[in-house]
Structure 1
Amino acid sequence: MSKWTDKLPDAAREYIGNRRVDEVECVIGDIAGVARGKAMPAAKFAKQTNYFLPNSIFLQTITGEWADSPFDAFTEPDMILEPDWSTATAAPWTADITLQVIHDAKDQQGNLVPFSPRNVLRRIIGLYAEQGWKPVVAPEMEFFLTARNLDPNQPVIPPMGRSGRRAAGKQAYSLSAIDEYGRVIDDIYDFAEAQGLEIDGILQEGGAGQIELNLAHGDPLELADHVFFFKRLIREAALRHDCFATFMAKPIAGEPGSAMHIHTSVVDTKTGKNIFAGPKGVETEMFNHFIAGMQHHMGAAIALMAPYVNSYRRYVPDFAAPINLEWGRDNRTTGLRVPISGPSGRRIENRLPGMDCNPYLGIAATLACGWLGLIEKKPARPEFTGSAYIDSDEIPVNLGDALDLLDEDEALKEVMGADFVKCYDSVKRNEYKEFLQVISPWEREHLLLNV
């Protein structure tokens, strides 16, 4: 093997085997979590230590427009992108032997670019490290397989299963339902194995064609990288079988939305013990403070966990989505759930993030709220028992309100990074303004001749 391939993780080297690498994709995630970057011949990649992209990629909206720069004149200076070799992995759906490598974004003085979402998460992990703590997370990914939708004016519909019938909803945990699109699932498993990505389990969710994929707990940055890779992997697997995979929060009217639940615990780096569990397994004050931080700051963090106008269609009472910041033990109606576990596995499940959020930012925002709670040491509200499917003014009802709440939370902005929040706000307000200029079919149907 050549020198550069010696730096690759075991899974990437195993994928290559004795074959020659044809191409390397140099990848970075933008504000939306879209993979941006350059592809180049492997021979060229082997000869360079970095490459360049303009910092304006973090001002590009989901529609491809450019938000106003909140900084100095919009001159688009180049960033220096350096490979993080630990992320190198296969792109097994390509016709040739291709690798993907996530890159770190630095400015020309060698500093991490503060508005790169991956750097935001790294910054918050660093805040924990300064206190002698190590956060541990486990994301759950929900998504829909759908029939190909070639006309945006037409509604999204479920895919055709192997039986020749369209996938049906209300079949949660049904093995027969998930077997309907078993060939897509098989490719997801095969691609994940080739990439060295671990799947903890796959199950049928409540929506028609809706799947949940669980990841094992681990390091927040590594798990965010994995979700970033999985989104692309799953889309490619679906396309092989004439359907789409979508991570929209609410792609089909009348069906449940798709969440990215995030399980979080915190370990003391000296003792290796979960700080949420004290002697004899009792819940600690830190456990209570972490919940309090989420209750005090999550309203503002919703702008990061629900980043699009469609995201707020998921927060509907009695539709399998939380609409509150209450907490409860093994209570799926609360926004903050404490699952059944032993003391060492005690954790808090944040059920608010949608699957449409950038995984780096969804995890970063969760950890930021919890960190603020640990530092501020405020008490959490009492445990909520019974059904918490209630209206709550703590959860914003649209993207504009969410961005206003984020702008008002000075503590959260400081933790996330002021420059990042300015950049994020500019992008999201641009997207929201674009949305408000679109006239929907509902408006034409009910207002055109009636008002």
Structure 2
Amino acid sequence: MTEAVDWLRVRGIEDVECITPDLAGVPRGKMMPAKKFTGNTSLALPSALFMHTISGEYPEETGEFRYSPNDGDLKLMPDLSTLSAVPWETDPTAQVICDLVDTQGVAVGYTPRNVLKRVLSLYESRGWLPIVAPEIEFYLVSKNVDPDYPLVPPIGRSGRQIQGGQAYSIGGVNEFDELIDDIYHFSDAQGLEIDTLIHEDGAAQLEINLRHGHPVELADQVFMFKRTIREAAMNQNIYATFMAKPIQGQPGSAMHIHQSVVEIETGRNVFSEPDGSASETFRHFVGGMQRYVPAALVMMAPYVNSYRRLVYGMSAPTNVAWGYDNRTTAFRVPPSDPAQRRVENRLPSSDANPYLALAASLACGWLGIVNGIEPDQPTDRTANEDGGISLPRGLLEAVAAFEAEVSFQEVFSREFVGTYAGIKRGEHETFMQVISPWEREYLLLQV
């Protein structure tokens, strides 16, 4: 805190935002004067804040989902390593990501950052550390103030509405030069490291790749990047959206996750043997992904809209196959030297909470390792050409699979499984109250 006081003073910081991700990955917290932040102030949020749906409603208690009887406080514990500037604010402002503990100082098991830390502790018990590198896709769209109207691509620098089919197009990126400049400037001011930025195949669809590192640090970066990109887009009078499927007929947006595991003491990649061949640990990690990811999919595809991306005929995988440099599989092993051997999970969508998506993916690999699950044979064919879908087809099916997997009670905690499933059921009930244009189009005058 002494260093933080100096950091705030040198930069003339007036206000500090103490934020934490809720189960949807939305920043929640409190803002206060910098002097109060450094004055040993106790910060708290109500526990029910982490039990409401994305629409702000509180679901009925069902299954293992229960509210705290007194809606007691959860204490915000700032992680000072995340202290950074808020570059889009007009007054000098800082932000810090917080963990949540109860009134006894015990980590709250159903909050996202703590869920990820719990999974990492399993690896640490073997002297291991997972290394991850997320890739986040998102769309730029024209401002949309009426949700009854479909989203449309924005007007670019050329004065024309952006079209699709511009994967890796430099011209496509240049259409938004001022926005890209803002993203880079905002990122630099916060200490966020962008590895590469490309235009994807969708109309005004971009992708940012982050450098590999510690899972909590990378989840923090994705959490902050989403906020940063939205603010940069607002500065240009457009929206940035991380919906999995924002525009009908266009590709969905993914959050691909590259994963490896190293020994903490030596830094050796445990996915490779000394002779460079794939290790048993690597095979079992892949086997665990194949076996458990369908049950954990709701943590990687958390909304009704997420399953519109995971359909046959689009760019997303609809299988649990794996292969070497095969982008049609759910689990791709990119070309690399043995020290960089890793597994890319291509199933998560960009609407996922990064802490929960990383926790789910790593937990599935862990369960494969400890249970010695062998994968099937890698495939070099187009894995999704037969139209089959070997994943839950919708939110309720995914929730049922999630609750039915007994091993998740241990790796994530029973408290989290019950809370998360209850919230997702509540969101589905809210969705079912909305009548869609498809229903009006085909049912209104024909049934």
Fold conserved (TM > 0.5)?
Answer: yes
Counterpart code for 1:406: F
**CA shift at 1:408, angstroms?**
0.9
Counterpart code for 2:401: L
Q: 2:33 aligns with which of 11, 27, 41?
A: 41
Number of residue pairs the alignment of both structures matches: 443
Does residue 1:50 correspond to 2:55, yes or no? no
Counterpart code for 1:131: R
The percentage of aligned residue pairs carrying the same residue is 51
Counterpart code for 1:31: L
Partner of 2:363: 368
The secondary structure found in structure 1 opposite 2:407 is helix
**CA shift at 1:347, angstroms?**
0.1
The secondary structure found in structure 2 opposite 1:404 is helix
Looking at structure 2, the residues matched to 116 and 46 of structure 1 have their Cα atoms a distance apart, in angstroms, of 25
Partner of 2:4: 7
**CA shift at 1:48, angstroms?**
2.1
Does residue 1:81 correspond to 2:73, yes or no? no
Partner of 1:176: 171
Once the two structures are superposed, residues 144-187 of structure 1 have per-residue CA deviations (whole angstroms, 9 ceiling, x without a partner) of 01000111000000011011001110110000011001111110
Looking at structure 1, the residues matched to 345 and 51 of structure 2 have their Cα atoms a distance apart, in angstroms, of 28
Q: Which moved more, 1:240-249 or 1:269-278?
A: 269-278
Once the two structures are superposed, residues 34-71 of structure 1 have per-residue CA deviations (whole angstroms, 9 ceiling, x without a partner) of 00001111111111253011111110110011124523
Q: 2:102 aligns with which of 107, 119, 124?
A: 107
Looking at structure 2, the residues matched to 108 and 329 of structure 1 have their Cα atoms a distance apart, in angstroms, of 49
Looking at structure 1, the residues matched to 298 and 54 of structure 2 have their Cα atoms a distance apart, in angstroms, of 15
Looking at structure 2, the residues matched to 264 and 154 of structure 1 have their Cα atoms a distance apart, in angstroms, of 39
**CA shift at 1:133, angstroms?**
0.9
Does residue 1:64 correspond to 2:44, yes or no? no
Does residue 1:23 correspond to 2:15, yes or no? yes
Once the two structures are superposed, residues 237-261 of structure 1 have per-residue CA deviations (whole angstroms, 9 ceiling, x without a partner) of 0000010000000000010000000
Q: How does 1:181-220 map to 2 (within 5 A)?
A: 181-220=176-215
Please identify runs of 4+ aligned residues in structure 1 that moved more than 6 A: none
Does residue 1:145 correspond to 2:137, yes or no? no
CA contact (8 A) 1:326 1:336 kept: yes
CA contact (8 A) 2:312 2:389 kept: no
Does residue 1:428 correspond to 2:428, yes or no? no
CA contact (8 A) 1:324 1:391 kept: no
Does residue 1:235 correspond to 2:230, yes or no? yes
CA contact (8 A) 1:136 1:219 kept: yes
**CA shift at 1:19, angstroms?**
3.8
**CA shift at 1:270, angstroms?**
3.1
Q: Which 5+ residue runs of structure 2 have no aligned equivalent?
A: none
Looking at structure 1, the residues matched to 118 and 250 of structure 2 have their Cα atoms a distance apart, in angstroms, of 37
Does residue 1:281 correspond to 2:276, yes or no? yes
Q: 2:434 aligns with which of 417, 421, 438?
A: 438
Once the two structures are superposed, residues 327-385 of structure 1 have per-residue CA deviations (whole angstroms, 9 ceiling, x without a partner) of 00000000000001000000000000000000000000000000001100011011012
**CA shift at 1:323, angstroms?**
0.5
Partner of 1:161: 156
**CA shift at 1:414, angstroms?**
1.9
Partner of 2:391: 395
Looking at structure 1, the residues matched to 393 and 181 of structure 2 have their Cα atoms a distance apart, in angstroms, of 38
Once the two structures are superposed, residues 206-242 of structure 1 have per-residue CA deviations (whole angstroms, 9 ceiling, x without a partner) of 0001000000000000000000000000000000001
**CA shift at 1:443, angstroms?**
0.3
The secondary structure found in structure 1 opposite 2:403 is helix
Q: Which 5+ residue runs of structure 1 have no aligned equivalent?
A: none
CA contact (8 A) 1:50 1:83 kept: no
CA contact (8 A) 2:179 2:233 kept: yes
Partner of 1:265: 260
Looking at structure 2, the residues matched to 159 and 310 of structure 1 have their Cα atoms a distance apart, in angstroms, of 21
The secondary structure found in structure 2 opposite 1:200 is strand
Looking at structure 2, the residues matched to 169 and 333 of structure 1 have their Cα atoms a distance apart, in angstroms, of 20
Counterpart code for 1:32: A
Name the TM-score, length of structure 1 as normaliser.
0.96
Name the TM-score, length of structure 2 as normaliser.
0.97
**CA shift at 1:298, angstroms?**
0.4
